[in-house]
Amino acid sequence: MFKKEETSVIKTILGKGCVVGGDFTCETAARIDGTVEGNVKVSGQLIVGAGGVIHGDVEATSIVIGGEIIGNVIAPERAELITTAKLIGDLKTGAIVIDENAIFQGKCDMNQEEADPAMKAKKRKGAAKTAKRSAKAALVEALAEVKESTEETVENSEEQKEQP
């Protein structure tokens, strides 16, 4: 519980006018109002203020974007783009909120459990088995209907032959 609390309280602030020329890593929640020319990795929540600029890929537990990010973003819990946000890049998240007038140009992937290749293979295998069972059941049902129809046709033919 302490870990979650620690990652949600902002302890690191990159102020307006500050420029980081390289990667930015933080073990707690952070707010960026300056510029980062590199990748950003934050263990907790990341807030990119209205004046914040990031030119690089971003990883954070959750993110609120008010400034500009040119790069891909991974935020497994949640991503929020407020009205002043500009995101040019792909976004991978569990939940997304995009306010009116926010700019988002890229692809959004919200299938977090699909990210694990082993999970994908397992799901495909399960889906294939279900499809096979469904196809087999449909085939058995169709054959039973054909058999009934054939038997009815034969009975009707025999009744017609018996009538003078």
CA-angle at 19, arms to 16 and 20, nearest 5°? 130
Rounded to whole angstroms, the Cα distance separating 54 from 157 reads: 81
pTM of the shown model = 0.65
pLDDT in tens, 9-43: 888 889 999 999 999 999 999 999 999 999 999 99
Q: What's the confidence (pLDDT) of residue 119? A: 53
Q: Residue 91 has which token pair?
A: 């976004």
85 and 145, same domain (yes or no): no
Rounded to whole angstroms, the Cα distance separating 105 from 117 reads: 26
pLDDT-based confidence at residue 141 (cuts at 50, 70, 90): confident
129 and 145, same domain (yes or no): yes
13 and 42, same domain (yes or no): yes
98 and 54, same domain (yes or no): yes
Of 75, 92, 111, which residue sits at a domain end? 111
- Domain total in the chain: 2
Whole domain around residue 24: which residue ranges? 2-111
